[in-house]
């Protein structure tokens, strides 16, 4: 299945000059959704994954489904102020400023082999921060996967120490 023909381009979102890759057209298509979930599962099965981490918020969609399919637990990484229990945070650089993500301190331990999932790889800053959180909690990043990669933004460079997979790449 050619996912590029299903993923919608939205010009000038969230700001003028950006072409946003919108996966909601993929999500509403039953066959494309199932195909994408199966493809992500095939990249991650037989790796001994014990926890799947989804990055807020679109990473929760396939992340949760992957966790169920892999027989693993699901852990959300969220924006500040969204998690109720004791948490660990990581600040990362944006083009103009910084941002922060958080994980519960008791979400992982040293026995966990983690799959990190998000819908899209752009510059890699958020995912690198997520990797840092996983490692601070003593777990191992086994695999990182995405539905879409914007390869022209060189996000893989920040993730060069990890096994990274994407189903669709835009140059």
Residue positions annotated with a catalytic role: 58, 95
Element (H, E) at 135: helix 125-136
Tell me whether strands 19-22 and 8-11 are parallel, antiparallel or unpaired.
antiparallel
Non-local CB neighbours of 115 within 8 Å, separated by 6+ positions: 44, 47, 49, 51, 52, 53, 66, 70, 72, 142, 143, 144, 145
E-assigned strands of 38-163? Answer: 51-55, 73-77, 87-94, 97-104, 113-121, 140-150
Longest dimension (CA), the chain: 45
């Amino acid at each position: 299945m050619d996912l590029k023909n299903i993923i919608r381009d939205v010009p000038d979102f969230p700001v003028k000059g950006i072409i946003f890759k919108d996966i909601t057209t993929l999500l509403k298509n039953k066959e494309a959704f199932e195909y994408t979930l199966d493809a992500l599962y095939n990249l991650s099965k037989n790796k001994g994954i014990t926890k799947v981490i989804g990055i807020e918020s679109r990473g929760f969609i396939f992340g949760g489904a992957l966790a169920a399919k892999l027989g693993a637990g699901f852990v959300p990484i969220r924006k500040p102020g969204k998690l109720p229990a004791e948490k660990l945070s990581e600040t990362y650089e944006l083009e103009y400023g910084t941002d922060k993500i958080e994980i519960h301190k008791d979400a992982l331990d040293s026995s966990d082999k983690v799959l990190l999932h998000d819908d899209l790889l752009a510059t890699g800053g958020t995912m690198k921060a997520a990797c840092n959180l996983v490692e601070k909690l003593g777990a191992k990043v086994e695999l990182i996967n995405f539905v879409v990669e914007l390869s022209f933004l060189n996000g893989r460079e920040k993730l060069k120490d990890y096994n990274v997979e994407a189903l669709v790449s835009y140059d």
